[in-house]
Amino acid sequence: MAAHAGGLTAPGPTEDARVPAHSAVPAPAHGVLADERVTTDDGSVVVRDLVRAYGLGEGDGRVLRGLDLTIAAGEFVAILGRSGSGKSTLLRALAGLDHDVHGTGTIAVPERVSVVFQDSRLLPWARVLDNVVLGLRGPGARDLGTERLAEVGLAGRERAWPTELSGGEQQRVSLARSLVREPQLLLADEPFGALDALTRTRMHALLRDLCARHRPAVLLVTHDVDEAIALADRVVVLDAGRIALDTPVTHRDPADPGFVALRRGLLDALGVPPVVPSSGTPSTFPSTSLPTSLPHRSTP
């Protein structure tokens, strides 16, 4: 069934009736999902009143607490948030890969969805091109795969084994594999998190180019404020399963005062205080990645 963004309504029952209460009983391996999942026919993403709860956890175990999010067709949205704020849980819900969690909500995504993870998840026994076209049928599949490999800068590496590639090259293959299906929605969970800074910067440029060419809607989960600003049209900050900030990226030039204000606003939403150098003047440029040692915010 196809649904337009505007035509969706939140499900009826109250939150308390929908999610099992926290208890001392260990969570089942499989959660109970009572989502309404529909397909958008305009390439957009609509999430309404999304609740996710693992059986055990802080408080009532809820990780997402009635989250609403809309991503327009072709829009690039980055999700920032402290460790444990629910970013990957949201991404898995959109991908339909969250069978170990309880939850409810309305999820509308386009028909063709691709997912890219931090590790490239290539099959080590399959050559690069075979990895890219895995599961794809049709006479043109291999040509299309070769074309996508060239697009990510790996022309001539079709017959290489994944182990013969660097980490950055493996992520390029992973991007080629996701794009060969011509996704209307690309879900990326810290895809560059394991790469060195220089490779990451190159991958940013590549992803920007690929998205400009193929125009999928993108949801990028990242810990890196500067990565979010460099790539996204919009940045959403999650805090304790709710949206703490949803802001358009209006400035990408670090020399622009608007950039500094945007960056500071994101860091504030993440609870990262300004760094006070020895001169005593707070710096507007603390480290770009979120320190993973920051405590979780208390659950409201």
Ligand X SMILES: Nc1ncnc2c1ncn2[C@@H]1O[C@H](COP(=O)(O)OP(=O)(O)OP(=O)(O)O)[C@@H](O)[C@H]1O
Q: Compare residues 252 and 297 and give the one whose CB is closer to ligand X.
A: 297
Please report where in the chains the tokens 């996204």 appear, as a residue. Answer: 232
User: Considering only residues 2, 30, 83, 153, which one is a binding residue for ligand X as defined by CB under 6 A?
Assistant: 83
Q: How far is the CB of 50 from ligand X (least distance, A)?
A: 12
Q: How far is the CB of 41 from ligand X (least distance, A)?
A: 29
Strand boundaries in the chain, DSSP class E: 33-39, 45-53, 62-71, 76-81, 102-109, 113-116, 185-189, 217-221, 234-239, 242-248
Site string for ligand X, 86-125 (x = CB under 6 A): xxxx----------x-------------------------
The residues facing 39 across adjacent strands are: 2, 109
Residue 143's CB is within 10 A of a number of other CB atoms, namely 11
Q: For residues 90 and 166, what is the distance between their CA atoms, to the nearest angstrom?
A: 29
Q: How far is the CB of 43 from ligand X (least distance, A)?
A: 25
User: Considering only residues 54, 150, 271, 286, which one is a binding residue for ligand X as defined by CB under 6 A?
Assistant: 54
Strand boundaries in 125-206, DSSP class E: 185-189
Q: How far is the CB of 63 from ligand X (least distance, A)?
A: 4
Strand boundaries in 129-190, DSSP class E: 185-189
How big is the site for ligand X, counted in residues (CB under 6 A)? Answer: 12
User: Considering only residues 33, 51, 63, 229, which one is a binding residue for ligand X as defined by CB under 6 A?
Assistant: 63
> Helix 141-151 crosses helix 167-179 at what angle (to 10 degrees)?
130
The one segment of 84-92, 110-118, 245-253, 273-281 that binds ligand X by CB under 6 A: 84-92
Contact positions vs ligand X (CB under 6 A): 54, 57, 63, 81, 83-89, 100
